[in-house]
Protein backbone atom coordinates (compact mmCIF):
# COMPACT_ATOMS: atom_id res chain seq x y z
CA UNK A 1 0.00 0.00 0.00
CA UNK A 2 1.41 3.37 -1.05
CA UNK A 3 2.40 5.74 1.72
CA UNK A 4 0.16 8.82 1.62
CA UNK A 5 1.90 12.08 0.83
CA UNK A 6 2.54 14.34 3.77
CA UNK A 7 0.04 17.14 3.87
CA UNK A 8 1.55 20.57 3.35
CA UNK A 9 1.08 22.90 6.30
CA UNK A 10 -1.41 25.67 5.61
CA UNK A 11 0.07 28.99 4.60
CA UNK A 12 0.17 31.71 7.25
CA UNK A 13 1.48 35.15 8.09
CA UNK A 14 4.59 33.61 9.60
CA UNK A 15 5.24 31.49 6.51
CA UNK A 16 4.67 34.53 4.27
CA UNK A 17 7.35 36.36 6.22
CA UNK A 18 9.78 33.40 6.27
CA UNK A 19 9.46 32.79 2.52
CA UNK A 20 10.17 36.43 1.73
CA UNK A 21 12.85 36.93 4.40
CA UNK A 22 15.93 35.96 2.31
CA UNK A 23 14.74 38.16 -0.57
CA UNK A 24 14.51 41.38 1.44
CA UNK A 25 17.05 44.22 1.38
CA UNK A 26 18.27 43.91 4.99
CA UNK A 27 17.32 40.46 6.38
CA UNK A 28 18.25 40.59 10.06
CA UNK A 29 18.19 37.33 12.03
CA UNK A 30 16.81 39.33 14.96
CA UNK A 31 13.44 39.67 13.21
CA UNK A 32 13.44 36.07 12.01
CA UNK A 33 14.18 34.61 15.44
CA UNK A 34 11.69 36.82 17.27
CA UNK A 35 8.89 36.19 14.74
CA UNK A 36 9.58 32.43 14.62
CA UNK A 37 9.60 32.03 18.39
CA UNK A 38 7.44 34.88 19.66
CA UNK A 39 4.53 35.22 17.26
CA UNK A 40 1.97 35.05 20.07
CA UNK A 41 3.69 37.90 21.93
CA UNK A 42 3.86 40.00 18.75
CA UNK A 43 0.17 39.45 18.05
CA UNK A 44 -0.65 40.53 21.60
CA UNK A 45 1.47 43.68 21.20
CA UNK A 46 -0.30 44.53 17.91
CA UNK A 47 -3.69 43.98 19.58
CA UNK A 48 -2.61 46.53 22.21
CA UNK A 49 -1.64 48.93 19.41
CA UNK A 50 -5.14 48.44 18.00
CA UNK A 51 -6.72 49.19 21.37
CA UNK A 52 -4.63 52.32 21.78
CA UNK A 53 -2.55 51.19 24.76
CA UNK A 54 0.59 50.68 22.67
CA UNK A 55 2.21 52.39 19.69
CA UNK A 56 4.36 51.29 16.78
CA UNK A 57 7.91 52.60 17.13
CA UNK A 58 9.50 55.10 14.73
CA UNK A 59 11.66 53.07 12.35
CA UNK A 60 15.37 53.30 11.57
CA UNK A 61 16.32 54.88 8.22
CA UNK A 62 18.50 52.74 5.94
CA UNK A 63 19.97 53.19 2.48
CA UNK A 64 20.18 50.34 -0.02
CA UNK A 65 22.42 50.71 -3.07
CA UNK A 66 20.39 51.43 -6.20
CA UNK A 67 23.29 51.57 -8.66
CA UNK A 68 27.04 52.30 -8.34
CA UNK A 69 26.40 55.87 -7.14
CA UNK A 70 22.78 56.30 -6.03
CA UNK A 71 21.05 55.15 -2.83
CA UNK A 72 17.49 53.99 -2.17
CA UNK A 73 16.07 55.48 1.02
CA UNK A 74 13.81 53.31 3.14
CA UNK A 75 13.47 51.96 6.70
CA UNK A 76 14.32 48.72 8.46
CA UNK A 77 11.24 47.58 10.34
CA UNK A 78 11.55 46.18 13.85
CA UNK A 79 10.10 42.67 14.50
CA UNK A 80 6.63 43.91 15.48
CA UNK A 81 6.26 46.37 12.61
CA UNK A 82 7.62 43.86 10.10
CA UNK A 83 5.25 41.12 11.26
CA UNK A 84 2.33 43.55 11.11
CA UNK A 85 2.79 44.50 7.44
CA UNK A 86 2.94 40.84 6.42
CA UNK A 87 -0.08 40.07 8.59
CA UNK A 88 -2.40 42.80 7.37
CA UNK A 89 -1.65 42.06 3.72
CA UNK A 90 -1.99 38.32 4.24
CA UNK A 91 -5.34 38.72 6.02
CA UNK A 92 -6.62 40.89 3.15
CA UNK A 93 -4.93 38.96 0.31
CA UNK A 94 -8.28 38.11 -1.35
CA UNK A 95 -8.89 41.83 -1.92
CA UNK A 96 -5.92 42.06 -4.31
CA UNK A 97 -7.84 41.14 -7.43
CA UNK A 98 -6.70 40.11 -10.89
CA UNK A 99 -7.08 42.77 -13.60
CA UNK A 100 -10.64 43.09 -14.87
CA UNK A 101 -9.51 43.65 -18.47
CA UNK A 102 -6.57 41.82 -20.06
CA UNK A 103 -6.10 44.64 -22.59
CA UNK A 104 -5.57 47.13 -19.79
CA UNK A 105 -3.91 45.34 -16.94
CA UNK A 106 -1.20 45.14 -14.30
CA UNK A 107 1.15 42.24 -13.60
CA UNK A 108 2.47 40.52 -10.49
CA UNK A 109 2.46 40.85 -6.71
CA UNK A 110 -0.62 38.98 -5.61
CA UNK A 111 -1.43 35.55 -4.22
CA UNK A 112 -1.93 32.71 -6.68
CA UNK A 113 -3.06 29.22 -5.64
CA UNK A 114 -2.64 30.20 -2.00
CA UNK A 115 0.94 31.47 -2.19
CA UNK A 116 2.64 34.66 -3.45
CA UNK A 117 3.33 34.66 -7.20
CA UNK A 118 6.95 34.83 -8.39
CA UNK A 119 7.83 38.40 -9.47
CA UNK A 120 10.48 37.14 -11.92
CA UNK A 121 7.88 35.15 -13.85
CA UNK A 122 5.39 38.02 -13.82
CA UNK A 123 7.98 40.56 -14.94
CA UNK A 124 9.15 38.30 -17.78
CA UNK A 125 5.57 38.02 -19.02
CA UNK A 126 5.15 41.79 -18.75
CA UNK A 127 8.30 42.42 -20.83
CA UNK A 128 7.30 39.86 -23.43
CA UNK A 129 3.75 41.25 -23.76
CA UNK A 130 5.09 44.79 -24.14
CA UNK A 131 7.60 43.64 -26.75
CA UNK A 132 4.91 41.74 -28.69
CA UNK A 133 2.43 44.63 -28.48
CA UNK A 134 5.01 47.06 -29.88
CA UNK A 135 4.73 45.23 -33.24
CA UNK A 136 0.94 45.31 -33.27
CA UNK A 137 0.39 49.01 -32.56
CA UNK A 138 1.83 51.96 -34.40
CA UNK A 139 2.53 54.11 -31.33
CA UNK A 140 3.46 53.52 -27.74
CA UNK A 141 5.03 55.36 -24.79
CA UNK A 142 6.82 53.73 -21.85
CA UNK A 143 7.47 55.53 -18.56
CA UNK A 144 7.69 55.11 -14.80
CA UNK A 145 6.84 57.09 -11.69
CA UNK A 146 9.65 59.16 -10.22
CA UNK A 147 10.79 57.88 -6.76
CA UNK A 148 7.43 56.14 -6.46
CA UNK A 149 7.49 54.62 -2.95
CA UNK A 150 9.17 57.67 -1.43
CA UNK A 151 6.36 59.93 -2.68
CA UNK A 152 3.36 57.92 -1.50
CA UNK A 153 1.09 59.82 0.88
CA UNK A 154 -0.13 58.27 4.12
CA UNK A 155 -3.78 59.31 3.73
CA UNK A 156 -3.91 58.13 0.09
CA UNK A 157 -2.78 54.68 1.22
CA UNK A 158 -5.35 54.67 4.00
CA UNK A 159 -8.10 55.61 1.53
CA UNK A 160 -6.87 52.94 -0.91
CA UNK A 161 -7.19 50.16 1.72
CA UNK A 162 -10.65 51.36 2.72
CA UNK A 163 -11.77 51.40 -0.94
CA UNK A 164 -10.35 47.91 -1.37
CA UNK A 165 -12.88 46.66 1.17
CA UNK A 166 -10.79 46.04 4.29
CA UNK A 167 -12.49 46.23 7.68
CA UNK A 168 -12.61 49.54 9.54
CA UNK A 169 -10.33 48.11 12.23
CA UNK A 170 -7.71 47.10 9.67
CA UNK A 171 -7.88 50.48 7.95
CA UNK A 172 -7.45 52.37 11.23
CA UNK A 173 -4.58 50.18 12.38
CA UNK A 174 -2.87 50.42 8.97
CA UNK A 175 -3.16 54.20 9.16
CA UNK A 176 -1.72 54.22 12.68
CA UNK A 177 1.14 51.99 11.50
CA UNK A 178 2.05 54.30 8.59
CA UNK A 179 1.87 57.40 10.78
CA UNK A 180 3.82 56.10 13.75
CA UNK A 181 6.63 54.23 11.96
CA UNK A 182 7.36 57.46 10.09
CA UNK A 183 7.28 59.73 13.15
CA UNK A 184 4.14 61.48 11.92
CA UNK A 185 5.46 62.41 8.45
CA UNK A 186 2.75 61.99 5.82
CA UNK A 187 4.96 61.05 2.86
CA UNK A 188 7.68 58.44 2.35
CA UNK A 189 5.88 56.12 4.76
CA UNK A 190 5.81 52.81 2.85
CA UNK A 191 8.91 50.62 3.33
CA UNK A 192 10.75 49.24 0.29
CA UNK A 193 11.84 45.71 -0.50
CA UNK A 194 9.13 43.63 1.22
CA UNK A 195 6.67 41.53 -0.79
CA UNK A 196 3.58 42.85 1.08
CA UNK A 197 4.56 46.49 0.50
CA UNK A 198 5.16 45.67 -3.16
CA UNK A 199 1.65 44.22 -3.27
CA UNK A 200 0.37 47.49 -1.83
CA UNK A 201 2.38 49.64 -4.23
CA UNK A 202 1.33 47.59 -7.24
CA UNK A 203 -2.38 47.58 -6.43
CA UNK A 204 -2.44 51.26 -5.45
CA UNK A 205 -1.79 52.29 -9.08
CA UNK A 206 -4.53 50.18 -10.62
CA UNK A 207 -6.62 53.36 -10.95
CA UNK A 208 -4.48 54.07 -14.03
CA UNK A 209 -5.46 51.13 -16.23
CA UNK A 210 -9.02 51.14 -14.85
CA UNK A 211 -9.66 54.81 -15.69
CA UNK A 212 -12.39 55.37 -18.28
CA UNK A 213 -10.61 58.59 -19.25
CA UNK A 214 -7.98 56.55 -21.12
CA UNK A 215 -8.87 55.41 -24.64
CA UNK A 216 -5.69 53.74 -25.88
CA UNK A 217 -6.31 50.16 -26.87
CA UNK A 218 -3.68 48.63 -24.59
CA UNK A 219 -2.11 49.50 -21.24
CA UNK A 220 0.42 47.22 -19.53
CA UNK A 221 1.82 47.97 -16.07
CA UNK A 222 4.22 46.24 -13.71
CA UNK A 223 4.35 48.23 -10.44
CA UNK A 224 5.15 51.76 -11.70
CA UNK A 225 6.56 50.70 -15.10
CA UNK A 226 3.80 51.60 -17.57
CA UNK A 227 3.33 51.23 -21.34
CA UNK A 228 0.42 52.59 -23.37
CA UNK A 229 -0.28 51.47 -26.96
CA UNK A 230 -2.50 52.81 -29.73
CA UNK A 231 -2.74 53.04 -33.51
CA UNK A 232 -3.57 56.72 -33.06
CA UNK A 233 -0.60 58.95 -32.18
CA UNK A 234 -2.78 61.76 -30.81
CA UNK A 235 -4.63 59.28 -28.59
CA UNK A 236 -1.36 57.97 -27.15
CA UNK A 237 -0.16 61.48 -26.32
CA UNK A 238 -3.56 62.46 -24.92
CA UNK A 239 -3.61 59.43 -22.60
CA UNK A 240 -0.03 60.08 -21.52
CA UNK A 241 -1.04 63.59 -20.49
CA UNK A 242 -4.15 62.26 -18.72
CA UNK A 243 -2.07 59.75 -16.75
CA UNK A 244 0.24 62.55 -15.62
CA UNK A 245 -2.77 64.48 -14.33
CA UNK A 246 -4.16 61.38 -12.57
CA UNK A 247 -0.82 60.75 -10.89
CA UNK A 248 -0.63 64.41 -9.94
CA UNK A 249 -3.80 63.98 -7.88
CA UNK A 250 -1.76 61.60 -5.70
CA UNK A 251 1.29 63.86 -5.56
CA UNK A 252 3.14 61.63 -8.05
CA UNK A 253 4.94 62.53 -11.26
CA UNK A 254 6.55 60.89 -14.29
CA UNK A 255 10.30 60.27 -14.46
CA UNK A 256 11.16 62.27 -17.59
CA UNK A 257 14.58 60.61 -17.93
CA UNK A 258 12.94 57.20 -18.37
CA UNK A 259 10.11 58.14 -20.70
CA UNK A 260 10.70 56.27 -23.95
CA UNK A 261 9.25 55.05 -27.23
CA UNK A 262 11.85 52.27 -27.49
CA UNK A 263 11.04 48.59 -27.09
CA UNK A 264 11.97 47.14 -23.68
CA UNK A 265 15.03 44.90 -23.61
CA UNK A 266 14.20 41.21 -23.97
CA UNK A 267 16.01 38.22 -25.38
CA UNK A 268 13.74 38.50 -28.43
CA UNK A 269 14.55 42.05 -29.52
CA UNK A 270 18.28 42.20 -28.68
CA UNK A 271 19.51 41.64 -32.23
CA UNK A 272 23.05 42.79 -31.39
CA UNK A 273 23.45 40.10 -28.71
CA UNK A 274 25.06 36.81 -29.65
CA UNK A 275 23.07 33.59 -29.56
CA UNK A 276 25.32 32.32 -26.75
CA UNK A 277 24.49 35.28 -24.52
CA UNK A 278 20.79 34.88 -25.32
CA UNK A 279 21.00 31.30 -24.07
CA UNK A 280 22.73 32.45 -20.89
CA UNK A 281 20.09 35.11 -20.32
CA UNK A 282 17.38 32.47 -20.68
CA UNK A 283 19.17 30.24 -18.16
CA UNK A 284 19.47 33.17 -15.75
CA UNK A 285 15.73 33.83 -16.12
CA UNK A 286 14.96 30.14 -15.58
CA UNK A 287 17.04 30.08 -12.39
CA UNK A 288 15.21 33.11 -11.03
CA UNK A 289 11.76 31.96 -12.15
CA UNK A 290 12.20 28.48 -10.61
CA UNK A 291 13.63 29.99 -7.45
CA UNK A 292 16.90 28.10 -7.94
CA UNK A 293 19.04 31.04 -6.97
CA UNK A 294 18.84 29.90 -3.39
CA UNK A 295 21.64 29.75 -0.84
CA UNK A 296 20.60 26.24 0.18
CA UNK A 297 20.30 24.58 -3.25
CA UNK A 298 23.07 22.05 -3.84
CA UNK A 299 25.49 22.50 -6.71
CA UNK A 300 24.46 19.12 -8.10
CA UNK A 301 20.82 20.17 -8.37
CA UNK A 302 21.76 23.44 -10.06
CA UNK A 303 24.07 21.64 -12.53
CA UNK A 304 21.28 19.20 -13.32
CA UNK A 305 18.67 21.88 -13.94
CA UNK A 306 20.74 24.63 -15.59
CA UNK A 307 24.01 23.17 -16.95
CA UNK A 308 26.51 25.54 -18.56
CA UNK A 309 28.03 24.33 -21.83
CA UNK A 310 31.72 24.59 -22.77
CA UNK A 311 30.81 27.17 -25.39
CA UNK A 312 28.99 29.29 -22.80
CA UNK A 313 31.90 28.98 -20.37
CA UNK A 314 34.25 30.22 -23.06
CA UNK A 315 31.95 33.17 -23.73
CA UNK A 316 31.87 34.10 -20.02
CA UNK A 317 35.66 33.83 -19.76
CA UNK A 318 36.04 36.15 -22.76
CA UNK A 319 33.82 38.74 -21.04
CA UNK A 320 35.82 38.44 -17.81
CA UNK A 321 39.16 38.81 -19.57
CA UNK A 322 38.01 41.95 -21.38
CA UNK A 323 38.52 43.87 -18.12
CA UNK A 324 35.61 46.22 -18.79
CA UNK A 325 32.60 44.40 -17.40
CA UNK A 326 29.21 46.09 -17.78
CA UNK A 327 26.65 45.91 -14.99
CA UNK A 328 24.36 43.50 -16.88
CA UNK A 329 27.31 41.23 -17.64
CA UNK A 330 28.45 41.26 -13.99
CA UNK A 331 24.98 40.24 -12.80
CA UNK A 332 24.82 37.53 -15.47
CA UNK A 333 28.19 36.13 -14.38
CA UNK A 334 27.27 36.09 -10.68
CA UNK A 335 24.00 34.29 -11.39
CA UNK A 336 24.97 31.70 -13.99
CA UNK A 337 28.55 30.90 -12.93
CA UNK A 338 28.07 29.86 -9.33
CA UNK A 339 28.86 26.24 -10.18
CA UNK A 340 32.05 27.39 -11.94
CA UNK A 341 33.28 29.91 -9.38
CA UNK A 342 36.98 29.22 -9.95
CA UNK A 343 36.73 30.81 -13.40
CA UNK A 344 35.54 34.07 -11.83
CA UNK A 345 37.84 34.48 -8.80
CA UNK A 346 40.45 36.66 -10.54
CA UNK A 347 37.74 39.11 -11.61
CA UNK A 348 35.76 39.02 -8.36
CA UNK A 349 37.60 41.86 -6.51
CA UNK A 350 36.86 44.22 -9.39
CA UNK A 351 33.19 43.21 -9.47
CA UNK A 352 32.85 43.75 -5.71
CA UNK A 353 34.46 47.21 -5.94
CA UNK A 354 32.60 48.48 -9.01
CA UNK A 355 29.09 47.26 -8.30
CA UNK A 356 28.03 47.94 -4.68
CA UNK A 357 24.38 47.38 -5.57
CA UNK A 358 25.20 43.75 -6.47
CA UNK A 359 26.31 43.02 -2.88
CA UNK A 360 23.49 40.50 -2.39
CA UNK A 361 24.37 38.71 -5.65
CA UNK A 362 28.01 38.62 -4.54
CA UNK A 363 26.96 37.13 -1.18
CA UNK A 364 25.10 34.33 -2.96
CA UNK A 365 27.91 33.72 -5.44
CA UNK A 366 30.59 33.55 -2.74
CA UNK A 367 28.54 30.93 -0.87
CA UNK A 368 29.63 28.56 -3.68
CA UNK A 369 33.33 29.46 -3.57
CA UNK A 370 35.10 26.49 -1.97
CA UNK A 371 38.07 28.47 -0.64
CA UNK A 372 36.37 30.50 2.08
CA UNK A 373 39.71 31.97 3.22
CA UNK A 374 39.91 33.55 -0.25
CA UNK A 375 36.48 35.10 0.32
CA UNK A 376 37.45 36.28 3.82
CA UNK A 377 40.61 37.93 2.47
CA UNK A 378 38.60 39.52 -0.32
CA UNK A 379 36.16 41.05 2.18
CA UNK A 380 38.97 42.22 4.47
CA UNK A 381 40.70 43.97 1.58
CA UNK A 382 37.43 45.64 0.62
CA UNK A 383 37.02 46.95 4.18
CA UNK A 384 40.06 49.18 3.61
CA UNK A 385 37.83 51.23 1.33
CA UNK A 386 36.45 54.15 3.38
CA UNK A 387 33.64 54.83 0.86
CA UNK A 388 31.80 51.54 1.34
CA UNK A 389 28.03 51.86 1.51
CA UNK A 390 25.74 50.57 4.26
CA UNK A 391 24.32 47.95 1.91
CA UNK A 392 27.78 46.51 1.19
CA UNK A 393 28.74 46.42 4.87
CA UNK A 394 25.50 44.64 5.72
CA UNK A 395 25.99 41.93 3.10
CA UNK A 396 29.63 41.49 4.10
CA UNK A 397 28.21 40.81 7.56
CA UNK A 398 25.84 38.27 6.03
CA UNK A 399 28.86 36.52 4.52
CA UNK A 400 30.53 36.33 7.92
CA UNK A 401 27.40 34.94 9.56
CA UNK A 402 26.63 32.42 6.82
CA UNK A 403 30.00 30.96 5.86
CA UNK A 404 33.09 32.86 7.09
CA UNK A 405 33.07 32.12 10.83
CA UNK A 406 35.43 29.20 10.29
CA UNK A 407 38.04 31.21 8.39
CA UNK A 408 41.37 32.37 9.77
CA UNK A 409 40.43 36.04 9.98
CA UNK A 410 36.77 35.77 11.08
CA UNK A 411 37.45 37.75 14.27
CA UNK A 412 39.20 40.56 12.42
CA UNK A 413 36.30 40.75 9.96
CA UNK A 414 33.70 41.05 12.73
CA UNK A 415 35.59 43.79 14.56
CA UNK A 416 36.41 45.71 11.37
CA UNK A 417 32.78 45.58 10.22
CA UNK A 418 31.62 47.01 13.55
CA UNK A 419 34.31 49.72 13.59
CA UNK A 420 34.24 50.72 9.91
CA UNK A 421 33.73 54.52 9.63
CA UNK A 422 30.61 54.00 7.49
CA UNK A 423 29.10 51.31 9.72
CA UNK A 424 25.50 52.03 10.75
CA UNK A 425 23.31 50.61 13.50
CA UNK A 426 21.86 48.12 10.99
CA UNK A 427 25.20 46.91 9.61
CA UNK A 428 26.54 46.61 13.18
CA UNK A 429 23.39 44.77 14.27
CA UNK A 430 24.12 42.16 11.60
CA UNK A 431 27.37 41.32 13.45
CA UNK A 432 26.03 41.66 17.00
CA UNK A 433 23.19 39.17 16.38
CA UNK A 434 25.65 36.42 15.40
CA UNK A 435 25.85 34.02 18.42
CA UNK A 436 29.66 34.23 18.56
CA UNK A 437 31.47 33.81 21.89
CA UNK A 438 34.98 34.71 20.69
CA UNK A 439 36.87 37.82 19.58
CA UNK A 440 35.51 40.10 22.30
CA UNK A 441 32.05 40.16 20.70
CA UNK A 442 30.22 39.16 23.96
CA UNK A 443 31.79 42.17 25.71
CA UNK A 444 30.65 44.49 22.92
CA UNK A 445 27.15 43.07 23.20
CA UNK A 446 27.19 43.50 26.98
CA UNK A 447 27.96 47.20 26.53
CA UNK A 448 24.76 47.63 24.51
CA UNK A 449 22.63 45.40 26.73
CA UNK A 450 23.51 47.42 29.85
CA UNK A 451 23.16 50.84 28.19
CA UNK A 452 19.45 51.21 28.99
CA UNK A 453 18.70 51.77 25.31
CA UNK A 454 15.96 50.29 23.16
CA UNK A 455 17.36 50.19 19.63
CA UNK A 456 18.83 47.87 17.03
CA UNK A 457 22.19 47.64 18.80
CA UNK A 458 20.61 46.43 22.04
CA UNK A 459 17.99 44.19 20.35
CA UNK A 460 20.57 42.45 18.16
CA UNK A 461 22.88 42.08 21.17
CA UNK A 462 20.08 40.34 23.04
CA UNK A 463 19.50 37.97 20.12
CA UNK A 464 23.25 37.39 19.73
CA UNK A 465 23.45 36.29 23.37
CA UNK A 466 21.26 33.24 22.68
CA UNK A 467 24.28 30.88 22.65
CA UNK A 468 25.39 31.90 26.18
CA UNK A 469 24.46 29.48 28.97
CA UNK A 470 20.92 30.32 30.19
CA UNK A 471 21.89 31.38 33.73
CA UNK A 472 24.43 33.98 32.57
CA UNK A 473 22.34 35.04 29.57
CA UNK A 474 19.13 35.54 31.52
CA UNK A 475 20.92 37.61 34.14
CA UNK A 476 22.16 39.98 31.42
CA UNK A 477 18.74 40.14 29.81
CA UNK A 478 16.91 40.91 33.07
CA UNK A 479 18.26 44.49 33.07
CA UNK A 480 17.93 44.93 29.30
CA UNK A 481 14.24 43.99 29.54
CA UNK A 482 13.41 46.84 31.92
CA UNK A 483 14.10 49.58 29.36
CA UNK A 484 11.03 49.28 27.12
CA UNK A 485 8.12 47.02 26.09
CA UNK A 486 10.07 46.05 22.95
CA UNK A 487 13.06 45.03 25.06
CA UNK A 488 10.68 43.08 27.32
CA UNK A 489 9.22 41.18 24.37
CA UNK A 490 12.60 40.36 22.82
CA UNK A 491 14.05 39.36 26.19
CA UNK A 492 11.12 37.05 26.92
CA UNK A 493 11.58 35.29 23.60
CA UNK A 494 15.35 34.82 23.99
CA UNK A 495 15.09 33.66 27.61
CA UNK A 496 12.69 30.92 26.55
CA UNK A 497 15.00 29.56 23.86
CA UNK A 498 16.57 26.25 24.82
pLDDT tens digits for range 8-23: 558 999 999 999 999 9
pLDDT for the residue numbered 296 = 35
Q: Do 312 and 327 reside in the same domain of the chain?
A: yes
- State the Cα–Cα distance between residues 405 and 227, nearest whole angstrom: 48
For the cut 60, the answer to whether the pLDDT of residue 267 exceeds it is no
For the cut 50, the answer to whether the pLDDT of residue 92 exceeds it is yes
Cβ neighbors of 478 (< 8 A, separation 6 or more) are: 491
pLDDT for the residue numbered 292 = 38
pLDDT for the residue numbered 264 = 61
- What are the CB-based long-range contacts (under 8 Å, 24+) for 300-309? 302/338, 302/339, 303/339, 306/336, 308/280, 308/283, 308/336, 308/337, 308/339, 308/340
pLDDT grade, residue 301 (50/70/90)?
A: very low
* 143 domain residue, yes or no: yes
Cβ(119)–Cβ(109) below 8 Å: yes
Cβ(423)–Cβ(393) below 8 Å: yes
* 461 domain residue, yes or no: no
Q: Do 223 and 322 reside in the same domain of the chain?
A: no
Q: Do 323 and 339 reside in the same domain of the chain?
A: yes
Instruction: Please write the tens of the pLDDT for every residue from 94-130.
Output: 999 999 898 999 999 999 999 999 998 899 899 999 9
* 182 domain residue, yes or no: no
- State the Cα–Cα distance between residues 243 and 143, nearest whole angstrom: 11
Q: Do 276 and 220 reside in the same domain of the chain?
A: no
- State the Cα–Cα distance between residues 79 and 33, nearest whole angstrom: 9
CA proximity to 397, closest of 372, 377, 371, 415? 415
Reported pTM: 0.91
Among 211, 243, 269, where does a domain finish? 269
Q: Please state, in angstroms and as integers, the Cα–Cα distance from residue 479 to each residue in 135, 241, 390, 492, following that order.
A: 68, 60, 30, 12
How many residues comprise the chain?
Answer: 498
CA proximity to 464, closest of 484, 341, 439? 439
* 319 domain residue, yes or no: yes
pLDDT for the residue numbered 492 = 97
Cβ(416)–Cβ(380) below 8 Å: yes
Instruction: Please write the tens of the pLDDT for every residue from 362-381.
Output: 999 999 999 999 999 999 99
* 83 domain residue, yes or no: no
pLDDT grade, residue 285 (50/70/90)?
A: low
Instruction: Express as a percent the part of the chain with pLDDT over 70.
Output: 89
Q: Do 128 and 103 reside in the same domain of the chain?
A: yes
* 236 domain residue, yes or no: yes
Instruction: Please write the tens of the pLDDT for every residue from 405-428.
Output: 999 999 999 999 999 999 999 999
Bridge pairing between strands 71-76 and 139-144: unpaired
Q: Do 196 and 253 reside in the same domain of the chain?
A: yes
CB atoms within 10 A of CB 66: 13
Cβ neighbors of 460 (< 8 A, separation 6 or more) are: 28, 30, 428, 429, 430, 432, 433
CA atoms within 13 A on the CB side of 435: 12
For the cut 60, the answer to whether the pLDDT of residue 294 exceeds it is no
Domain around 334: 271-287+306-364
- State the Cα–Cα distance between residues 206 and 211, nearest whole angstrom: 9
Q: Do 354 and 211 reside in the same domain of the chain?
A: no
- Average pLDDT, whole number, for the chain? 90
CATH code, 116: 3.30.70.270
* 112 domain residue, yes or no: yes
* 264 domain residue, yes or no: yes
Q: Do 330 and 359 reside in the same domain of the chain?
A: yes
- State the Cα–Cα distance between residues 219 and 209, nearest whole angstrom: 6
pLDDT grade, residue 1 (50/70/90)?
A: very low
If one counts the domains in the chain, the total is: 2
Q: Do 202 and 236 reside in the same domain of the chain?
A: yes
Q: What are phi and psi of 9, to 5 degrees?
A: -65, 145
How large is the average pLDDT for residues 452-471?
Answer: 96
CA proximity to 195, closest of 68, 64, 85? 85
Among 318, 346, 364, where does a domain finish? 364
For the cut 80, the answer to whether the pLDDT of residue 312 exceeds it is no
- State the Cα–Cα distance between residues 432 and 445, nearest whole angstrom: 6
Q: Do 206 and 231 reside in the same domain of the chain?
A: yes
pLDDT for the residue numbered 298 = 38
Q: Do 241 and 283 reside in the same domain of the chain?
A: no
Q: Do 204 and 261 reside in the same domain of the chain?
A: yes
Among 323, 349, 364, where does a domain finish? 364
Query: Higher confidence at residue 167 or residue 10?
Result: 167
Amino acid sequence: MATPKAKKPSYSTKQFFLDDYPRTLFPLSTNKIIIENGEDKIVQYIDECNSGTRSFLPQYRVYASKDPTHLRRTVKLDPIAEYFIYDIVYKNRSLFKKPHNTDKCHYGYRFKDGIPSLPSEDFSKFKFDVWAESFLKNYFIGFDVSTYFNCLYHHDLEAWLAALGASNDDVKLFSKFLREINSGRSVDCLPHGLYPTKMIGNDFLRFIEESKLLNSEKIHRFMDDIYIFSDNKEQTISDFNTIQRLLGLKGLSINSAKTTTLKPKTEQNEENISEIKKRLLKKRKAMLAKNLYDDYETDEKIDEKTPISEEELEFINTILKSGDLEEDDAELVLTTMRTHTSDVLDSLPGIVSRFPHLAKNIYRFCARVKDKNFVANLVQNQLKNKTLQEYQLFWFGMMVESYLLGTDNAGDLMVELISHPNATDISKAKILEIPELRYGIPEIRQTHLSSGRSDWLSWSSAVGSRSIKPAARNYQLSYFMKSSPMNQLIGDVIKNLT
